[in-house]
Amino acid sequence: MPFEIIKPGTHIDFVRFAKPAAIASAVLILVSLAAIKPMGFRLGIDFAGGTEVQLKFTGDEPVDEGAIRDAIGGEIPDLSVVRFGAGDTREYLVKFKSAQGEKGEVVDQIAARLGAEVGAVRVDRVEFVGPKVGQELRADGLRALGWAAVFVLAYIAFRFTPRFAPGAIAAVLHDVAVTAGLFILLGMEFDLRVLAALLAIVGYSLNDTIIIYDRIRENMEIRTRSDLPEVINHSINQMLGRTVLTSGTTLVAVLALLFLGGEVIRPFAIAMTIGIVVGTYSSIYIAAPMLLVLDRWQKSRAAPGAKPARA
C-alpha cells in the first residue's frame, strides 16, 4: 500500500482563500517596509564594514557569550559574539564596527580586558572589512538577486507560456520580501550568510511553483470545459501530498542546522526556515491564483463591457 500524506479525493478550495492570503502578505510586507525607517537594516560587517576577531580561551575558567559581552560590551558598540564550532569548544567570533586605524588598538583592548575578567585568551585571527568593500558586497548581492529574478522570468516564459511568468516572479519577490521583512522586525543582522539563504530561497520557491504550474498546464489541456478556478484548485489538491512531503523533509534538514549547527550557521538556517515555509505558502496562494488574476484581466481587455467569470 503506497504511503499517502494527503488522502485521495481531498478537495480544498484554495482559490477561495487567495484574496485574504494576498492581503495578509501585503500587510506583512508593508509593515516591514514601515519598520525600515525606525528600526533600520542591521547590516553585518560583511556589508557595513568592521572587524572580526577569532578568540580561543586557553584556561579552565567557564566561558560563555554572556561573560564576553559583559566584559567588553560596554566599551564597544554594536558588538556581536558567537560561539565558533560546536560542543564544548572554547573558540568565539567577536565582531564589531571600527575604522582600519583603530583595529589593532581595539583588538589589544579586547584581549587585555577578557584576559583580566574572563580568562586566558589567545587571538587566532583578525579580519577587517572596509566600508568600500562592504558597499561593493551590498551592490553585488542586490545584483545577484536581480539577475536571479530575470532568469526565473526567462525560464518560466520558455518552460511554459508568458502568462505563467508574472505569478512565478510575484511568488519569488514575495518570499524574498517576507523573509527580509521578518529579519527587520526581529532585529537580526543581514550578512553574506543571509544573502546566500535568500538566493537559495529563490531557487526553492521556483522549484515548488514549477511543480504546481506543470500540473495546472496539464489539467488545462485535459479539462478544457472546466473553469480556471476549478482547474487551479484541482491541480493544487493533486500536488498537495508531494508539496507537504517535500517541504516537510527539507524543513527537517534545515531545522537540524538551526538547532544543532551552532551559532555561526544559525542566521542561514533561520532564513532558510522562513523561506521554506513562506515559499510553500506562496506557491499555493500567490503564484497559482495569479493565473486567475491575469486571466480575468485579459478577458476584461478583450471585452471591456463583459464581466469576468466568478470564481
Domain range for 25 is 15-42+133-299
Q: What pLDDT, on a 0 to 100 scale, did the predictor assign at position 42?
A: 81
Same domain, 106 and 222: no
Q: What pLDDT, on a 0 to 100 scale, did the predictor assign at position 254?
A: 94
Q: What pLDDT, on a 0 to 100 scale, did the predictor assign at position 303?
A: 61
- The DSSP call for residue 79 is -
Residue 82 is assigned to a structural domain of this protein: yes
Burial zone of 3 (CB within 10 Å; 0-12 exposed, 13-18 middle, 19+ buried): exposed
Residue spans of the chain under pLDDT 50: 1, 309-311
CB 222 within 8 A of CB 230: no
Residue 193 is assigned to a structural domain of this protein: yes
Residue 139 is assigned to a structural domain of this protein: yes
Residue 153 is assigned to a structural domain of this protein: yes
SS3 sequence of 180-194: HHHHHHHCCEECHHH
CB 230 within 8 A of CB 84: no
Same domain, 112 and 240: no
Domain final position from 82, 105, 129: 129
Q: What pLDDT, on a 0 to 100 scale, did the predictor assign at position 224?
A: 62
Q: What pLDDT, on a 0 to 100 scale, did the predictor assign at position 85?
A: 65
Query: Alpha helices of the chain — where are they, by DSSP H?
Result: 18-39, 45-48, 65-72, 103-117, 131-159, 165-186, 192-222, 228-238, 240-260, 266-282, 288-302
Look-up: residue for cell 484574496? 19
Q: What pLDDT, on a 0 to 100 scale, did the predictor assign at position 310?
A: 46
Residue 223 is assigned to a structural domain of this protein: yes
* Domain CATH code at residue 35: 1.20.1640.10
Q: What pLDDT, on a 0 to 100 scale, did the predictor assign at position 282?
A: 92
Q: What is the DSSP string of 10-26?
A: ----TGGGHHHHHHHHH
Look-up: residue for cell 510553500? 280
Domain final position from 108, 129, 150: 129
Cβ contacts of 70 within 8 Å, gap of 6 or more: 117
Residue 150 is assigned to a structural domain of this protein: yes
Same domain, 145 and 257: yes
Same domain, 214 and 172: yes
Q: What pLDDT, on a 0 to 100 scale, did the predictor assign at position 307?
A: 54
* Domain CATH code at residue 100: 3.30.70.3400
Buried b or exposed e, range 233-269, using 16+ CB within 10 angstroms = bbbbbbbbbebeebbeebbeebeebbeeebbebbbbb
Q: What pLDDT, on a 0 to 100 scale, did the predictor assign at position 275?
A: 93
Could you give the number of structural domains in the chain? Answer: 2
Residue 2 CB-half CA count within 13 A = 7
The pTM score is 0.81
Residue 309 is assigned to a structural domain of this protein: no
Q: What pLDDT, on a 0 to 100 scale, did the predictor assign at position 255?
A: 94
Residue 303 CB-half CA count within 13 A = 8
Domain final position from 129, 161, 192: 129
Same domain, 59 and 207: no
Same domain, 212 and 124: no
Q: Which residues pair with 125 in a beta bridge?
A: 54
Q: What pLDDT, on a 0 to 100 scale, did the predictor assign at position 139?
A: 87
Same domain, 161 and 287: yes
Same domain, 172 and 29: yes
Q: What pLDDT, on a 0 to 100 scale, did the predictor assign at position 269?
A: 94
Same domain, 119 and 161: no
Q: What pLDDT, on a 0 to 100 scale, did the predictor assign at position 225?
A: 59
Q: What is the dihedral of CA 56, 60, 66, 71, to 10 degrees?
A: -80
Residue 1 is assigned to a structural domain of this protein: no
Count the neighbouring beta carbons within 10 Å of the beta carbon of residue 297: 11
Same domain, 22 and 111: no
Same domain, 252 and 173: yes
Q: What pLDDT, on a 0 to 100 scale, did the predictor assign at position 1?
A: 43
Same domain, 175 and 234: yes
